[in-house]
Structure 1
Amino acid sequence: MSDVAIWIYILECSNGSFYTGTYRGRDIGTRVGEHNSRKYANAYTGRYLPVRLVWCTTCETINEAVAFERQIKGWSRAKKAALISGDYDALPGLSRNRQPRDTSS
């Protein structure tokens, strides 16, 4: 059994924005270090250094991680902040497509 994990993570950039990514490796700190060392200077994070890891989890498969990454990238800033702070109960109410239903008819 390998001790390599499949990570999904959120970084906070120096401009206050969030960057979501995936990484396959033993230590998520390695990936954060790669971002901060300008290994990906042409990437979004390369323009807004330093970055800081604010949330991460592991997934069972790369497909699961990529799907979750895409899902998070579509979320509002408020919903990402709720995830980061661990306020999981707030997540459904922060969905962009949640509109009050008109039940008067």
Structure 2
Amino acid sequence: MKFYYVYILKCSDETYYTGFTSNLEQRFMEHQSGKYKESYTYNRRPLLLEFYQEFVDPNQAIMIEKQIKKWSKAKKEALINNEFEKLPNLAKKKFK
């Protein structure tokens, strides 16, 4: 069975990068080595793999990746820290 991964990297500038891959170890090494100069992570190395989730359906993984990419830093950190109870409140829009 083939697996697909959604992952979150923490960059040296304290930002997060969210991605999708079918080979997590290889993709992390590509980010870490700076294989792609045009990549968001290229000038933000070194990187830490903070989170990943495994999927069997690539379409579901891509959908989740797109969703997480839209999240705030606080919401990504709640996911990374397994603070799932915080996610609903972090999803609410703040109005003045």
TM-score (norm 2): 0.91
- Deviation at 1:96? 4.3
For the residues of structure 2 that align with 1:81 and 1:31, how far apart are their CA atoms? 21
Matched residues, number: 96
Structure number, greater radius of gyration: 1
Corresponding residue of 1:102: none
1:39 to 18, 35, 42: 35
For the residues of structure 2 that align with 1:24 and 1:40, how far apart are their CA atoms? 17
For the residues of structure 2 that align with 1:81 and 1:16, how far apart are their CA atoms? 11
Q: What are the superposed Cα offsets for residues 40-98 of structure 1, whole Å, 9 maximum, x if unpaired? A: 22110011111110000111211111110111011111000000000011100101436
Structure 1 residues 36-45 or 13-22, which shifts more? Answer: 36-45
For the residues of structure 2 that align with 1:41 and 1:10, how far apart are their CA atoms? 19
Matched AA of 1:38 = G
Unaligned runs of 5+ in 1: 100-105
2:4 to 1, 6, 11: 6
Corresponding residue of 2:44: 48
Q: Does 1:20 align with 2:18?
A: yes
Matched AA of 1:35 = H
Unaligned runs of 5+ in 2: none
Give me the CA root mean square deviation: 1.7
* Greater helix share, structure number: 2
Q: RCO higher in 1 or 2 (8 Å CA, sep ≥ 6)?
A: 2
Corresponding residue of 1:62: 58
